[in-house]
Structure formats: structure tokens, C-alpha cells
Amino acid sequence: MPKVYIDPGHGGTDPGAVGNGLQEKALTLDISLQLRNILLANWAVDVRMSRTTDITRSLAYRTDDANAWGANLLVSVHINSGGGTGFESYRYPTSDAATVNLHNALHPRVIGGMRTIGGVTDRGLKTANFHMLRESAMPAVLTENLFIDSVADSNLLRRADFITATARGHAEGIAAYLGLSAPNPPTFSTIVDNTTAGRFTASTNWGTSSYSAQRYGADYRFANPTLASDSAWFKVNIPAAGNYRVEVRHPADPGYNSSAPHVVVTASGNRTVNVDQRSSGGVWRSLGTFGLAAGDRNLVAVSRWTSSTGYVVADAVRVTRV
């Protein structure tokens, strides 16, 4: 198995750069731990890290450790400072072809990941005589992931979905360099029923019924339409920023609503899809594919706010990574 060495910059008594209430050492560790987890979850690789907690490591320790382990590549993760904005990455000035390949694979995928969340300036691929690049015996790249002293950059660095997207970009770059295939598709799929503990909320205006045999699970919830939202919410834990297919299931009945509003909380705002609940009952129906941010949140609402007549029904939601 390829051996991937991940070096979260700084740590312990060395906070690295600080600014806007953030510390470089914490951000580099957060990105690096997620990078490790994404790599191990998706590809057959070995991963070793220079640190997995907030401890002090010398630069010599880091490169000695990577060299002794016989890593096939090294990625050192840092946050920039000093009055700038954006992403840049470094290799040693007299690198071999393999290092150039790693650099070329990594850089665009990291910035591509970042740009799924927000606008990021591409400062380009650079060279520098850094210890981590000079003293490592394998292809090595150092990434400078935005500027901690930029207000705009720090606002991105504060977002969990941005950190995850940055880690995923690193992982995809490493996988591409190693010639590993795209991540295994069945990465994530989950169903939330109206009875799933802690994952469904609705006001007492929503009745409970097991009338229709098309129901998912034991029962479903229903309410009269009204010109107020009073939504029933399905809460879903999205493991990583990305594209997901969102489906709903409901029993159908001629007396149900012809235009029941379903609201999906996407990474770029709320999207409303109206569902005709008079037909297509008892099967999964796609609301579409949406870019979703990572995190556990109320994700899909069934709203009562419609001028169409007939009960609006909330039964089950399925979310699948695509």
C-alpha cells in the first residue's frame, strides 16, 4: 500500500500564525485529521502523521520520522499570514519529476475543493527552500491554506464545511498522484423517518396517521395547509461537503396536497420543490441533486405554506451522496 505522510504544521508551544481569533496549529491539525480520515475511508493507503494532537514537534523530527517510515509522499499543511489572500503551494526548487507530478496533482484539487465553498484566490504553484521540502527523502509539497490575518480568508477558515472541502481536495490530489481510482461510490446514504429518534420535529398541528398502506415505517404525519410555514423538519448529518440526491417518500391519496412545498437547505441557500402528493405514493421520489455543506442540521422541511388544498404529508427522507 502507498505510504502517505501528513504533516500538520506547528503545534504545542508553537502556535504558528495567529489572527482573527484563529491559530494556525489548530487549523492545520483539523485539516490533516480530516485528510487522514478521508484517505483511509476511500482508498487502500497507509497514513502516518507527524502529530495527531496539539504537541510540539521539531522540523527535524518531522522529516526524520517520514524518512524512517519510508513514506511515498509527504504533504505539509500550513496556513499563511503576512498580508495577502488565497491559496498557494510549494515544492523544493530543484525537485524531481515525481515531486512536480505531486504538486501538479495536488494544487488544482485543493483549490477546486475550496471553491465549492467560497471564492478563493489562486496564488499559484511556487518553489521554496523550506526544511520540510529539502530534508524529506520523498516527493513533498507544502500547502498554505489561505491567510489567517485576512478577514475574508479567516471567515472561510472558521467554517467546518470549508475545512472539510480543503481536506477532501488534498485527499483527491494525493489519490490522483498515486493513480488511485475515484472514491468508492456507496460513500453515504441515510434514511430519516418521521419516527427516527431526534431527527424529526413537527408542531402539534401535525397529526399522526397509519391510514395509508403506502406509509414508510409505522406511520406518517399530516397537517392542513395554511399560510404559515409551521414546517415538519427532517434532520440529517451530512458527512462531507458534496453533491447529494435528496428523495422523499409519502403515501398518496386523492385528498392530499397537489403542491406540498419541500425546502432543502443547500450550501447555496434554501431550495423549494413542490410535490404533488396525490400520486406516486409509497416510492422514493427525487427532489433533485443539491450541493450540501457538511454538518448535522435540519435539512429537509415539509411546509404547510401552500394555497393548494388537501393534507400535506411528511413521512421519510433519503439522502445519498452522488
Q: 73 CB contacts (<8 Å, ≥6 apart)?
A: 2, 3, 4, 5, 102, 138, 139, 140, 141, 174, 177, 178
- The closest residue (CB) to Zn ion is 78
Range in contact with Zn ion (rule: CB under 5 A) among 6-14, 182-190, 218-226, 247-255: 6-14
Q: How far is the CB of 23 from Zn ion (least distance, A)?
A: 11
78/123 with CB nearer Zn ion: 78
Q: Running DSSP on this structure, what letter comes out for residue 151?
A: H
Q: Is 144 a catalytic residue?
A: yes
Adjacency order of strands within the sheet including 87-91: 46-49, 3-8, 73-80, 140-147, 87-91, 122-127
What cell does 214 get?
Answer: 403506502
Q: How far is the CB of 24 from Zn ion (least distance, A)?
A: 5
Count, residues near Zn ion per rule CB under 5 A: 3
Alpha-carbon distances, residue 5 vs 8, 70, 319 (angstroms):
10, 9, 33
**9 forms part of the interface with Zn ion (CB under 5 A):** yes
16/242 with CB nearer Zn ion: 16
Range in contact with Zn ion (rule: CB under 5 A) among 58-66, 72-80, 116-124, 183-191: 72-80
In whole angstroms, how large is the CA radius of gyration of the chain? 24
Q: How far is the CB of 87 from Zn ion (least distance, A)?
A: 14
**C-beta separation of 125 from 91 below 8 A:** yes
- Give the Cβ contact number of residue 247 at 10 Å: 19
Range in contact with Zn ion (rule: CB under 5 A) among 15-23, 46-54, 91-99, 261-269: 15-23
Q: How far is the CB of 86 from Zn ion (least distance, A)?
A: 16
**Owner of C-alpha cell 420543490:** 273
Range in contact with Zn ion (rule: CB under 5 A) among 1-9, 50-58, 117-125, 301-309: 1-9
16/281 with CB nearer Zn ion: 16
Strands 232-238 and 316-321, bridge-based pairing: unpaired
**16 forms part of the interface with Zn ion (CB under 5 A):** yes
Q: 175 CB contacts (<8 Å, ≥6 apart)?
A: 39, 42, 43, 181, 183
Q: How far is the CB of 153 from Zn ion (least distance, A)?
A: 14
**Catalytic one among 24, 88, 144, 247?**
144
**78 forms part of the interface with Zn ion (CB under 5 A):** yes
**C-beta separation of 1 from 46 below 8 A:** yes
Residues annotated as catalytic are 144
Binding site for Zn ion (CB under 5 A): 9, 16, 78
